[in-house]
Amino acid sequence: MLDIPSDALPRGFLAEVVIHVSVSGPYIYPDPKTWKPASAVYWISSSKEFVNPVLLGIWHNVKGSVNSSSIKVLTAEDTPQNMSCIFNEFLGDFTVKGSYVYFKLTGFSGKEVVTCLDVRNFQGSLFYKMSDAGNKWKYSLVIYNSHTKGVTRSLFDGTQYEDWIPDIKFDVKFEENSKILELNITPDPPLENWIIRGRINPLSYHKDALQSQGHVVSNMRFDIHWNGSSDLLTDDYLNFPLKGAEYPLSITANPSRIDHKTSATIKFTKKKGGMKLDIKDFNDIDLILKSSSFDNSKWSDLGLKLGLFQTRLNTIKSDNSQDAKACLGETLGKWLNRVDEVDKNGGATWEALMDALQKIEQKPVAEKIKDYIE
């Protein structure tokens, strides 16, 4: 008999599933010769048929450094036999590069489950930086897998991106049968007084690379130089077609709106105090902590003051191999999802974060947040 995990999907519920591999089980095949006894089991069960195929994403989160994940697809009838679910292997096992795999479900029983790696939807973010020389700007269009944690944290870990500023964030969808996205920065006809150069050629992302992407990379870096004798106008917008995408059809840059005096410092959109935060605010919080030189080694102390249980923090520490940056990111994510006693400690708000920072002797960081929200 296969025990149903406490956090398994309820009947008829569809969602992205994260599988955390641990020695505690439950197990698919508790036989060390054929299957490691460390794979949690999730399934969708219903007697109804799908109106349209549904894409199920599974993040196979394993400890340590791995090059591939082995996934086994099993099916079972909706009605248990003798109080037990009898599972039959379907398609055998298969291996995927990285830690993410998709299933295309065409029937609730799972009898028509097939692997599907042709995912068309991704995320995009445009970053910019004012060059040291006047009237020159650096841009970077980043396209990444939607499951990748914290695009700005992943991108800004290297000093190369320390002072880049996030401009816009948007959804990206490949055209049907398209395998590559390419940003066209060559104006046709040529733009007078503008010099635009790509840092690499071509500026492109391949779909198969994005689908197996476990971290954020920048493939579309380009420089813009205003070479005219007059000043830029506020409506000097530059549009760059994105070939191979169903949307967006183009990316728009407006260098004239960048403040030359403050462009070297990360800027944030002003937000009112007292507002409730959620996971969409993760990037802003991560950036302001980093720009304020928050001591990452205090991530656990911060988590406790924010209302997370010590047992959860211990799990975060274990899952991230004691990497302070990664632990901080997961702690902030749990706080924004208001787990444990977060609501009893002020909830997920800027004020609660400032209060927690002051309690762990990170007052300068709290002051930076105060300036941000006022």
Query: What is the sign, positive or negative, of the torsion defined by CA atoms of 301, 302, 307, 311?
Result: negative
pLDDT for the residue numbered 201: 87
Q: Count of CB atoms within 10 A of residue 175's CB?
A: 13
pLDDT for the residue numbered 244: 94
In angstroms, the CA 282 to CA 328 distance is 11
In angstroms, the CA 211 to CA 117 distance is 7
pLDDT for the residue numbered 274: 61
pLDDT for the residue numbered 307: 93
Spell out the domains of the chain, with CATH numbers in brackets: 17-115 (no CATH), 121-257 (2.60.40), 279-373 (1.10.533.10)
pLDDT for the residue numbered 174: 92
Question: pTM, whole model, 2 decimals?
Answer: 0.45
User: To which residue do tokens 């991530």 refer?
Assistant: 299
Q: Count of CB atoms within 10 A of residue 372's CB?
A: 20
Q: What is the pLDDT along the chain (374 residues), one digit of tens a residue?
A: 334 444 443 333 333 333 333 333 333 333 344 444 334 444 444 444 445 555 555 554 444 444 444 555 555 555 556 655 555 555 544 555 544 555 555 544 443 334 445 578 888 888 888 776 667 888 999 888 765 555 555 565 554 666 677 778 888 999 988 999 999 998 877 778 888 999 888 999 988 878 766 567 788 999 988 877 776 665 667 889 999 999 999 998 877 665 443 333 444 444 445 678 887 778 778 878 887 788 888 999 999 999 999 988 988 888 777 778 888 888 998 898 888 889 888 888 989 999 999 999 888 888 888 776 66
In angstroms, the CA 357 to CA 366 distance is 6
User: To which residue do tokens 């099993």 refer?
Assistant: 74
Q: Which of 56, 65, 67 is nearest to 19 (CA)?
A: 56
Kind of pairing between the strands at 121-130 and 136-144:
antiparallel
pLDDT for the residue numbered 280: 72
